[in-house]
Structure 1
């Protein structure tokens, strides 16, 4: 029997349930249901790792053991520099890649492009959006001024665990028209940065620290529990919780403005050393084609609890209805979400910046001083 391939993904049902479902179908002989595929000569077995590992662990430490990796796009710059991944144009023709790019929501495909080449294929998509308990009858805030007003009467939470303190800061700046890393010696202009930190400080002061220290899944579970926060203006959306929560576009800074949000999601990358064997490479190609096929993305992924990268799901009325309105309610945000740089060394900076902002929020550090410290950290990263 031909040896199976090994894949690694993160340990939340959104990250592993669709992969496991398709793998079970692959293990049977012949095509099953509406998911056509080539003959599977090498089954693909998926193993799970913690979300914190998914967000921060260098991919070069995984490519010796896994053939296919579910990855966060921000780690690709370091991985490309390390030479541990196989670019997608060595597996697929340009026309096939172009079709996938055209079929994905927002910048999901482009976020995996480094130095003009795609290093992963988008299989999952998300962005920071607003979430609220379903018993919150009032209309959800459309601007950050309205968020601050709501926080005076209802428990409002921020999501600041892991890298998300820095991502929240970035989203607030994007809403003001100040996309990060476009300014000499500073992450953002002082006025936008201080306004973002002032908003975060006000909301953190009104929120239980045990809640705002959560990552997205933990924060959404706290909302769904019904006895804690009622609303979070900015958290990476998980369709998993759509039965218990209402979702909406991320707030804008001004009425009618751009929703401030940072793109997330996950892509399928391939280990260069493991794909050196032509037979292994062919088997990997078949699995990636299957996972990114319109039928799997449109039908199997949502049915299995996943969150596909295919725009056809995000725009489909039936898919949105089955998800409690999740897809259509947040489509405008994901289409314009800001893409973080996939630059070598970015992930350690993101982690350090988030710790700085999270500790600063806990210690009530004044926004001007905190922004100064963030820019100092940024300059040490850019000019070692």
Structure 2
């Protein structure tokens, strides 16, 4: 069987370790009818490559939930692979499971759970509220995560998902502009790039980006507006199955998905190999998980309609370019609303 995941140890190391154990015939996590040969794609492809196109080549794919809307015709819903009892027995962090439910069907099982949180070097504290973050930026080497789709995703998080609301949208863009002006690092990076800069000591903190348990940094709940829950946009990954060969591989696919979402694999193998589990039980553990659990549980699920990924890409470029050009928040929000009104 052929599988596709994303090119970061968090995305491929646990999967490839299972395959190695399968090929060695010594897998303590259970046998499967046949191993999966995993290919990798870069983070940018994971965030934007059409799932339906990938399903022409791959049997199992690690995907991002916003791409589901244009892909369901190419995928097998989980209800065709598992009984209601099997699905009901699975427990995942936050709204991870719900994010792959569309049009009355479950299209994926969560593999990895993530959302935007605050990150800092040890000894540095990211304040809990956005007004305090602005004050902290005046004396801290702060960076923003604005690469790829992340300018738009930060905007959505700061508005708590109400990004088409004029008051919330304008306030969010004003905040982002103020933070960008105060930032000591103005490089346009994705989360991995910002975290690498922090790990190297070039940046002290970032108030909002997708958390990676693999970095030796301090993670905490995302900043919030006073009186509100932390604003964040759900990330993570899910496992989908292509329709292309399902008649041949149904039992093997079932075995792989049940093993990958099992408690031993999620709670033992994933942490040991640099993965970031989706199992709810792991998110009760101290440190990274428990320190960001409130944000995970409050995270907003992105739209999943056909065409959303391209709209997300355009919206992010519009916001990022406008922030660097100094476009007034009201004008920038007007341009964004026009983009969302365009078919």
TM-score calculated relative to the size of structure 2: 0.97
8 A Cα contact 1:64 1:274, kept in partner: no
1:145 matched to which residue of 2? 131
Residue among 225, 231, 237 paired with 2:200: 225
2:82 to 89, 92, 103: 92
Tell me, yes or no, if the aligned pair for 1:70 and 1:266 is still in contact at 8 Å. yes
* SS in structure 1 of the partner of residue 120 of structure 2: strand
Q: Deviations over 1:81-132 (max 9, x none)?
A: xx111111110011111112xx101000000011011111001000000001
Match for residue 312 of structure 1? Answer: 281
Confirm whether residue 235 of structure 1 aligns to residue 235 of structure 2. Answer: no
- Give SS of 2:52's match: helix
Over the aligned positions, Cα root-mean-square deviation in angstroms equals 1.2
Between Structure 1 and Structure 2, how many residues are aligned? 343
Aligned to 1:110: 98
Indicate conservation of the 8 Å contact 1:66/1:274, yes or no: no
Secondary structure, counterpart of 2:219 in structure 1: strand
Inter-partner Cα distance in structure 2 for 1:47 and 1:299: 23
Q: What is the Cα deviation at residue 328 of structure 1?
A: 1.1
SS of corresponding position for 1:27: helix
Does 2:185 align with 1:193?
Answer: no
Alignment of 1:1-384 (within 5 A): 5-29=1-25, 31-32=27-28, 35=29, 37=30, 39-80=31-72, 83-100=73-90, 103-136=91-124, 139-174=125-160, 179-180=161-162, 187-208=163-184, 210-211=186-187, 213-226=188-201, 228-241=202-215, 243=216, 245-254=217-226, 256-277=227-248, 280-316=249-285, 320=286, 325-380=287-342, 384=343
Gap regions ≥5 residues in structure 2: none
SS state at 2:214 partner = helix
1:272-311: per-residue Cα shift (whole Å, max 9, x none)? 112132xx11111111111011111111111111000001
For normalisation by structure 1, the TM-score amounts to 0.87
> Is this contact kept in 1: 2:116–2:210, CA < 8 A?
yes
- Separation in 2, partners of 1:222, 1:31: 37
Q: Distance in 2 between matches of 1:202 and 1:348?
A: 27
Q: In the alignment, is the contact (CA less than 8 A) between 2:221 and 2:295 conserved in 1?
A: yes
Are the structure 2 counterparts of residues 31 and 217 from structure 1 closer, same or farther at C-alpha, using a change threshold of 3 Å?
closer
Shift of 1:209: 5.7
Instruction: Name stretches of at least 5 consecutive residues in structure 1 with no aligned partner.
Output: 181-186
Q: Is the 8 A contact 1:108 1:265 kept in 2?
A: yes
When residues 223 and 209 of structure 1 are mapped into structure 2, their CA distance, relative to the original with a 3 A threshold, is closer
Q: Distance in 1 between the 2:32 and 2:126 partners?
A: 47
Whether the 8 Å contact between 2:142 and 2:185 is mirrored in structure 1 is no
Offset, 1:30: 5.3
